């Protein structure tokens, strides 16, 4: 079982606070969440308090607080006398997460479509899609150079979802959406087909939202998660 890496700069997650308002515990919490998405942390990995404290430049009390938060959200397991371990999902666990994500992503897109009349929000969503497209090109270059892929696209993807949450103006969605265990799902199922289809899905979601069509937006959001499910099932052995 591997231990925590030592060279990861923690990005903010979809629900992360701005850096100025981020506590030491937040730094560890969102650093691990972001690291899962980027491959710096992996399911089944043991998390050593001392290593995390050094890595993130915080005290061990802040690390413990962050691990308790991650455990409460089902990202980390805290087996007695063994230390923290990033949760590994069974196939059924993964499908259960996707069932929830499908409905929540559809609801998110529906809510955002109702806010499409706000010019500033609409411009922000168009910019988010442009950023995704640019990051997708950068990701291809990173893969070609064999550097760590995905950081630019991951940041653009988080910004895309934050923009949808802002457009929707639904406080409950803003509270609940970041708790879905998709970072663990993506960390455990790193399939080329998932990388290739996400940008097309995000463009369809944005087009429906900008058209102010809640039904079509909801269908596009749900279809994105359905595509993720189909890719994961297609990648199963046997």
184-220: per-residue pLDDT in tens? 898 888 877 676 788 899 999 999 999 999 999 999 9
How far the first Cα of the chain sits from its last, in Å, is 26
DSSP state of 86: E
Residues 101 and 180: beta-carbon distance below 8 Å: yes
What is the C-alpha separation between 203 and 156, in angstroms, rounded? 13
Q: What is the pLDDT of residues 95-149, one digit of tens each?
A: 999 999 999 999 999 999 999 999 999 999 999 999 998 887 766 655 544 445 4
Q: What is the pLDDT of residue 114?
A: 93
Q: What is the pLDDT of residue 195?
A: 66
What is the C-alpha separation between 102 and 217, in angstroms, rounded? 12
19-86: which CATH topology? Arc Repressor Mutant, subunit A (1.10.10)
Q: What is the pLDDT of residues 19-37, one digit of tens each?
A: 545 889 999 998 998 888 8
| Residue 39: pLDDT band with limits 50, 70, 90 | confident
The CATH number of domain 91-234, selected from 1.20.120.530, 3.30.70.2520, 2.60.120.200, 1.10.630.10: 1.20.120.530
Residues 158 and 164: beta-carbon distance below 8 Å: no
CB atoms closer than 10 angstroms to residue 75:
23
* Confidence check: pLDDT of 3 > 50: no
Q: What is the mean pLDDT of the chain?
A: 85
Residues 47 and 67: beta-carbon distance below 8 Å: yes
The region that residue 13 occupies, defined by phi over 0 for left and psi between -120 and 50 for alpha, beta otherwise, is beta
Q: What is the pLDDT of residue 159?
A: 92
Residues 104 and 228: beta-carbon distance below 8 Å: no
Per-domain residue ranges of the chain: 19-86, 91-234
CB atoms closer than 10 angstroms to residue 57:
10
Q: Which residues pair with 76 in a beta bridge?
A: 86
Torsion sign (Cα): 94, 72, 27, 3: negative
Q: What is the pLDDT of residue 228?
A: 93
> Residue 21: phi, psi to the nearest 5?
-105, 15
Name the residue among 64, 1, 84, 70 with its Cα closest to residue 30: 70
The model carries a pTM of 0.79
Torsion sign (Cα): 108, 193, 12, 93: positive
Q: Which residue has the higher pLDDT, 178 or 229?
A: 229
Share of the chain above pLDDT 90, in %: 61
Residues 6 and 51: beta-carbon distance below 8 Å: yes
């Amino acid at each position: 079982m591997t231990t925590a890496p030592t060279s990861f700069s923690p990005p903010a997650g979809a629900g992360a606070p701005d850096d100025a308002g981020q506590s030491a515990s937040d730094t560890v919490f969102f650093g691990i969440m972001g690291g899962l998405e980027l491959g710096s942390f992996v399911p089944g990995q043991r998390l050593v308090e001392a290593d995390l404290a050094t890595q993130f430049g915080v005290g061990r009390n802040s690390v413990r607080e962050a691990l308790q938060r991650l455990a409460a959200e089902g990202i980390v397991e805290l087996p007695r006398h063994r230390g923290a371990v990033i949760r590994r999902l069974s196939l059924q666990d993964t499908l259960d997460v996707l069932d929830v994500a499908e409905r929540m992503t559809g609801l998110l897109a529906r809510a955002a479509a109702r806010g499409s009349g706000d010019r500033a929000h609409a411009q922000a969503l168009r910019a988010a899609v442009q950023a995704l497209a640019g990051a997708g090109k950068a990701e291809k270059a990173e893969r070609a150079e064999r550097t760590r892929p995905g950081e630019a696209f991951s940041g653009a993807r988080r910004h895309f979802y934050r923009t949808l949450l802002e457009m929707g103006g639904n406080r409950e969605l803003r509270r609940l959406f970041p708790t879905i265990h998709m970072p663990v799902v993506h960390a455990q199922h790193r399939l080329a087909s998932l990388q290739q289809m996400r940008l097309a899905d995000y463009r369809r979601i944005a087009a429906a939202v900008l058209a102010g069509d809640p039904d079509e937006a909801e269908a596009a959001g749900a279809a994105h998660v359905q595509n993720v499910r189909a890719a994961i099932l297609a990648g199963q052995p046997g």
